[in-house]
Every structure is written in C-alpha cells, then in structure tokens.
Amino acid sequence: MEQGQIYRVSGPVVTAVGITPKMYDVVFVGEKGLMGEVIEIAGDKSVIQVYEPTEGMMPGEKVINSGKPLVLELGPGMLTTIYDGIQRPLVKIKEQSGDFITRGISVTAIDRKKKWDFVPIAKKGSRIEAGQELGYVQETKHIKHYILAPYGVSGEIREINAGKFNVEEQVALVGNHKVSMMHTWPVREARPVKEKLMPTVPLITGQRILDTFFPIAKGGTGCIPGPFGSGKTVTQHQLARWSDTEIVVYVGCGERGNEMTEVLTEFPELSDPKTGAPLMERTMLIANTSNMPVAAREASIYTGITMAEYYRDMGYDVSIMADSTSRWAEAMREISSRLEEMPGEEGYPAYLASKLSAFYERSGRVKTLGGKLGSVTVVGAVSPPGGDFSEPVTQNTLRIVKVFWALDEKLANSRHFPAINWLTSYSLYSGVLNNWMKENVADDWQSMREKAMGILQKEAELKEIVQLVGSDALPEREQLTLEIARMIREFFLQQNAYHPVDSFCPMKSQYALLKTILEYGDLAYKALDKGATIKDIFGIKAREELGRSRFEKDFEKNIVRIAAQIREELSRLGG
C-alpha cells in the first residue's frame, strides 16, 4: 500500500498528493483512517470522497491507498442484517461504540467466527463453471444460501468437503483455486449473467391498483414519486411484505431518522405471510439516514443492488426498494459542487441521467451463469420538492423506468390510500403481461381493465361539468356513470394497508371484485333504460354488501353470493 498526504479538505471531499491510485480505488484518510473513494484524478492530485465526517482533519495527515475499488463481502449471514451505506453492520458497530458511530471504526460485514453447515451438491472429479452450485448452507429457516463457483473460477473439482465451516475456510478446491463460502465484488460493477430475458411474469403485490391497473413485471423497474405524506414509504413497505419475491433489499437512502427508525423497529416484528416466520429472515436493510455522511449515501444504492444481484445469481427473485433516489441525487449534487463541476439543471450534475440509468439497468429477469432463472426488480421512491414532477430527478427517472405510480397529495388529503393517481400513472408492462394474465387469471382480464379505466376517465370529464352545474343537473345515465366510478374508486382502488384481510388481495379476488362492480354497472344501465329510477338502483341491498366484502375472510364465497344477489335485485328493477 502506498502512502501520501492530505493537500486540501472541503467537507467530505479531500484532495491528496503522493499517491497514484486508479479511479474508484478505496483509500484510508487521516490519522483515524477514514474510508474514502477516489472520484477524480487531476495531475498529481487525487480527489477523494470520504464516507465519514472529516471535522478536525488537516493538510499533511497521511493518506493510504489500498489499490482496490469499493467491494462488498458476499456470503452467508447477510440476511436479517442491518447495514449502513458501505456495508458495515450497525448492530456490531453499536456493540463496539455505543449509540453513536465512532469515526474510523472498522467492522467486518460478515461474521468470521460463525460456523455454517455446508452441504455439497457438486461431486468430486466433476467439472464446474463459474456461477454453478458447489453446495449450500441453510442461512435462515426457509432460505438456502447456495455457494457458487466464483466468477473467473472453473475447472475440475479436486476436493469438496461437507461439514461446519466459517466463511473464510476452504470448502472446495477447483483446479488450483481454493474456494470458501465468501467472496468480494466491486459495487459499481454489474454481476455477469448468461442471458437477459423478456419481462413476461408479473410481480404480484396484492395491491389492487398496482396489480390490475399498473402492473410491474419481475425484473422490471418502477418509481413512486410523491410529495411528503402521500404514502411512498407505506407503499414500499407493502411491496416488501406482500410481493411474491423471495428476497427483499430495503435501502433507506437519506431518509429522515424517525422514518428509518420506524422501518428498523417495524420490519423485525413483521411476519412473513408466506411462511409465518419473521419477515427479516429474507430481508436485508441498508440504513443511511439524512444526518449520516452524504458520501456514503451515494454508495448505499450500489451496495443494495449488488446484494440483490448476488441472491439473484442463486436463482431467487429479488426486489430492491430504494427510498429515496431524490436524496441520492442530492448527495451527488453536493459532491459535484465541492468538485466545482459545471452544474446542470437545478444544480444537479450533468451526469445525473447516466447515473440513474446505470442503477436501474442492473434490474432484469435473467438466466444466470449457473443456468437458473432469477430476477431483480427495482422500485425507487422519488421525493420531488413540493410534489413538482417536472423537476430533474423525476423527469430523468421517468425516461428510464417502465412503471410510474404517481402519488397524489389531494388523494392523500382526502384519505384515499394508496394515493396513486389512476389518471397520471402508467405501466408499459401491461401488454407483455397480458398472456400471463389470460392463462393464470381470466381471458377477459385486459378488456375488463380497459373498461374500468374508461369509466374512471369518463368520471374525470363529468366532474368538470358537475363543478359548474351540480350532479343533479346531469342526465340519469351520467349520474349512474359517476356512481359506478365511485364504486371502482372506493370498493376497488382504496385498500387498507393495516387491515388483516384487506392488506393483501389475491389476483383471483381482484378479478372477481372488479368483475362484480362492472356487472352491477351493466345491469344498472339496462334497468335504467327499462324505467327503473336512480334511487332504486343505488338503493339495492347487495351494493352495500359488495363494499364490505373486501374486509371479510370468506371473500371468494361471499362475492359469488353477492354477484347473484345483484343480478336478482336488478332484474326485479328491469335489468
């Protein structure tokens, strides 16, 4: 390791001389050995982004170049762990330094002492390629952690051992390579795959407005922009808890400390609805709050996506929630200004779009090097100042992602949750997912969805007239359209995240509920044409029961009964 010295200090940006690093090499700065990363080289000067506070640091202090980029330790023991932005386990840091993180503290990301029971899959004497399975350990009760041949390692298995090992001990000898259960990987480099596949399988979230109207595919990209208090964090919690992925990575990137505290206290107490085990057993949390060093915030996103790719390579479906990419962009803006770079729109660096693209493009449904199918689905929250969707982070994100779930302050203020605006949101996956929906849910899924969206759009047009003349002045047919739209909004689109039944709605139940609402509408129009009054049509008993049905455990049985009751009551009115 070569040694130089500090030339200049400007917040988290330090300029050093006397070292000859490569871009993104990790260096240790000052007497305390604070970790940093080289982000610019200008002649004999190296500009370093330091991941910890630099107060009290002075020119002349030593700088040591490691000669390696920022890497993550990947191996058993990552699940259930809470990390900071550069993969330091916060629980271990607390054990060493108390409630406040001591500057320069060094803690291994993965426990070196814990013994894991390694079960071989590959046989001695067989040939193995990079990415193929050597064996596995039972990381948590329901998750097997597959030990893969590291990238660049292939050949004949000369030795493979069953038994208890720590992550540094040799479990196999492949050619001349000693393989342990842990390896490292540069965070800024995407892990290789054999093939990227079309996103033709939906990510089932159990949230009606998402699955039915604006679905996201496994391996897809989505964003949730919205102003403060509109429900971004709760929506991401719902995705983390209910979506049909096996591994969840939650990145709290620059969020307020009280919000992150809520996540850190709630997640360990949540139970996994699929297994009944704690949700943390298949979750990794990365906490980098707004009062933590700004430079580590920029690294936290890469830390999260690298962890997600690692479990994807084992054949798992992984979802990563980034909350929020706006704070990440603000960190880039601050560092860019300290580097005295030419600012772009609203002071953000000119390379904002390329950085966002590089992050989101690491998503995808893939065939791994080992031949398995895995996926990384990326959902990023965006926090535009004042809810202004025209600001640079939101606009650049929209150019990249395929799903846009636009949160609306007016809906949130009227207590309509999730407050996703159905007129401004969109999904570009609807077409490619249609075949899956036909095969697994219903043939008329697409036509039913389009019909419901048409009613909601018609309602938006009629509301402009209602504001001028009032709803009673409308023809009865239009009054009925407004009522059907209200039923779609209140019975279907609204969903209680804290209700034990309504929090998750299976696809078949979503279809049955929406089909029943639309059937009520068709029969109501017929009854109206045959002389029934609006008051009688609105007053049928089954309509009230339909509104309550989503909160009842026996939904499947009840919805069949309610649909039959609607048909009977409206037929008496002439429907």
Lowest mean pLDDT among 112-121, 383-392, 513-522: 383-392
Please, which pLDDT band fits residue 453 given cuts at 50, 70 and 90?
A: very high
Collapsed DSSP state (helix, strand, coil) of residue 517: helix
Q: Kindly report the CATH number that applies to the domain delimited by 116-181.
A: 2.40.50.100
Domain boundaries, the chain: 2-69, 116-181, 195-429, 445-572
Work out the average pLDDT over 86-106: 85
Please, which pLDDT band fits residue 368 given cuts at 50, 70 and 90?
A: very high
Give the β-pairing of 373-382 and 221-225. Answer: parallel
Work out the average pLDDT over 538-566: 91
DSSP assignment letter at 209: I
Measured between alpha carbons, how far is 85 from 289 in angstroms, rounded to an integer?
9
pLDDT computed for residue 100 by the predictor? 77
Rg (C-alpha) for the chain, rounded Å, is 27
The predicted-structure confidence for 372-397, as pLDDT tens digits, reads as follows 999 999 999 998 888 888 999 999 99
Measured between alpha carbons, how far is 13 from 83 in angstroms, rounded to an integer?
23
The predicted-structure confidence for 255-273, as pLDDT tens digits, reads as follows 777 777 777 777 777 777 7
Residue pair 568/519 in contact (Cβ under 8 Å)? The answer is no
Measured between alpha carbons, how far is 32 from 34 in angstroms, rounded to an integer?
6
Work out the average pLDDT over 302-322: 96
Measured between alpha carbons, how far is 428 from 217 in angstroms, rounded to an integer?
10
pLDDT computed for residue 338 by the predictor? 81
Q: Kindly report the CATH number that applies to the domain delimited by 445-572.
A: 1.10.1140.10
Q: 194 φ, ψ to 5°?
A: -80, -40
Residue 575 has pLDDT above 70, yes or no: no
Work out the average pLDDT over 304-319: 96
Work out the average pLDDT over 10-26: 92
Residue 433 has pLDDT above 90, yes or no: yes
The predicted-structure confidence for 206-241, as pLDDT tens digits, reads as follows 999 999 999 999 999 999 998 888 888 889 888 988
Count of positions (residues) in the chain: 575
Q: What is the three-state SS of 476-496? A: HHHHHHHHHHHHHHHHHHCCC
What is the CATH class of 2-69? mainly beta
Measured between alpha carbons, how far is 362 from 5 in angstroms, rounded to an integer?
36
pLDDT computed for residue 95 by the predictor? 87
pTM of the model: 0.93
The predicted-structure confidence for 36-61, as pLDDT tens digits, reads as follows 999 899 889 999 989 888 888 999 99
pLDDT computed for residue 295 by the predictor? 76
Distances (CA, A) of 21 to 1, 171, 186, 336, 485: 10, 34, 16, 20, 62
Selection from 154, 212, 216, 203 nearest residue 179 by Cα? 154
Cβ-count burial of 499 within 10 angstroms (0-12 exposed, 13-18 middle, 19+ buried)? Answer: exposed
Alpha helices for 399-444 (secondary structure H): 409-413, 430-440
Work out the average pLDDT over 502-531: 94
Measured between alpha carbons, how far is 478 from 249 in angstroms, rounded to an integer?
47
Alpha helices for 90-182 (secondary structure H): 90-97
pLDDT computed for residue 288 by the predictor? 83
pLDDT computed for residue 237 by the predictor? 82
The predicted-structure confidence for 329-344, as pLDDT tens digits, reads as follows 988 898 888 888 898 9
- What are 462's two structure tokens? 């009629």
CATH topology classification for 195-429: Rossmann fold (3.40.50)
